[in-house]
Amino acid sequence: MNAIFISPQFPHTYWNFCDRLQKNGVTVLGIGDSPYSELESNLKNALTEYYRVDSLEDYNQVFKAVAFFSFKYGKIDWLESNNEYWLAQDAQLRTDFNITTGVQNGQIDFIKEKHLMKVKYFEHNIPTARQHRVSTLKAAQEFIAEVEFPVIVKPDVGVGAADTYKLDNNDDLTSFYDHLPDVPYVMEEFIEGDICSYDAILDSRCEPLFESMTVWPPSIMEIVHKKLDLSYYTAAEVPEALKLLGRKTVKAFSVKSRFVHLEFFRLKNAKKNLGAAGDFVALEVNMRPAGGYTPDMMNFAHATDVYQIWADMVSADKLIHPVHDIHHWCAYASRRDCYTYVHSHQEIMEHYGERIVMQEEMPMMNWPQMGRWMYTAKTDSLQDTLDFIKYVQAKL
């Protein structure tokens, strides 16, 4: 079996996907824009061959790289980046090279454009916030008359909280239209609650081989804009209601043979036409693994190896290696260099000892969202999780 992995060097933990494929007997071929000499040794050992392009943004260069591998190794059975940024390019390459094991070019719009995601939600009776495609100020005012302030505006195509804003009143609305972005935007009614992701690895029948839930802060947008400390956690188990809604959603989108990250609100209060407090409401779908070190947090929480489960799905369409039924919590807490904290780095490391499973300085490009210094610990309960976060982030 021949598999091409696009940008295997970034994020740097993605060498694990290549490593597990290689251990499953797959010929793993990498295409990236980093010099071979700069690749981590773990990644070099996992790749049969690496093709460097000057820029992954240049489709012609990447096309030629895939064509070279096709000529040298024969039919390409799999092509993937597991990266939101390259989803559309991945789909185009699969279409151009008749690689039928993933999303094709004609299917990409419904998993990239937020207004089309809403179409799927509504077609399949999946509860979701009302949305308006940004056009005229008058149309926006009519939409807000229905849903009331506040509302959220965000790019129709985009990742994370980049260029996302909360509009609280007419002054905010007018200001937004005075500086209207030149890319398509959507406007949504505001939902108050935690964001809970349904993370799953799905086989070719849309059936989950692995399921997990991570609970995120209500607004990554505010963390970025207000320079707040980020904290989130992977839960020991997935609530049955989220499992059912997650499985219904992947079938609605006909998601097959993928690692997915689906976001839902867990309502803080009852909301008309959406549900009672504690119910889940669809936010958006992401057809790739959760960002940052979240896959590793899933491993710690569930005593498993999601990279191996994904590789088993790719190479055999089923679990080859056993999955353990062990349940912990895993918490991420970050700190910024613009604040002074109660507890020193040394105190954190001594207090939590072996429960700290990861600790490092994050890459600079991740500082706005994920903080500069991160601490990740395996915990035994929700309260233990919250106590860890409070200890790390307590400020003077």
| % of the chain beyond a pLDDT of 90 | 89
Please give the structure tokens belonging to residue 207.
Answer: 């059936």
Question: Which of 199-208, 219-228, 267-276 is predicted least confidently?
Answer: 219-228
End-to-end CA distance of the chain: 56
User: Residue 226: what pLDDT?
Assistant: 87
CA nearest 106: which of 120, 92, 86?
Answer: 92
**Are the beta carbons of 189 and 167 closer than 8 angstroms?**
no
* Span 332-386, pLDDT tens digits: 999 999 999 999 999 999 999 999 999 999 989 889 889 999 999 999 999 999 9
162 has a pLDDT exceeding 80: no
User: Residue 160: what pLDDT?
Assistant: 56
User: Residue 224: what pLDDT?
Assistant: 83
Bond preceding residue 184 cis, omega within 30 of 0:
no
User: Residue 161: what pLDDT?
Assistant: 56
User: Residue 326: what pLDDT?
Assistant: 86
Distances (CA, A) of 144 to 175, 186, 227, 347, 386: 15, 13, 28, 49, 36
Please give the structure tokens belonging to residue 194.
Answer: 């935690």
* Span 180-208, pLDDT tens digits: 989 999 999 999 999 999 999 999 999 99
3-state secondary structure of 53: coil
User: Residue 96: what pLDDT?
Assistant: 98
Averaged pLDDT for residues 313-341: 94
3-state helix, strand, coil in the chain (%, to 5): 40, 25, 35
CA distance 102 to 5: 13
Please give the structure tokens belonging to residue 39.
Answer: 């690749």
User: Residue 302: what pLDDT?
Assistant: 96
Averaged pLDDT for residues 213-224: 84
CA distance 307 to 80: 14
pLDDT, the chain, mean: 95
CA distance 306 to 293: 12
pLDDT confidence of 159, banded at 50, 70, 90? low
pLDDT confidence of 219, banded at 50, 70, 90? confident
**Are the beta carbons of 9 and 39 closer than 8 angstroms?**
yes
pLDDT confidence of 163, banded at 50, 70, 90? confident
* Span 278-296, pLDDT tens digits: 999 999 999 999 998 999 9
The distance of Cα 174 from the centroid of its chain, to the nearest Å, equals 32
Length of the chain: 396
User: Residue 246: what pLDDT?
Assistant: 98
Is the model's pTM score more than 0.85?
Answer: yes
User: Residue 200: what pLDDT?
Assistant: 98
pLDDT confidence of 158, banded at 50, 70, 90? confident
Averaged pLDDT for residues 304-314: 98
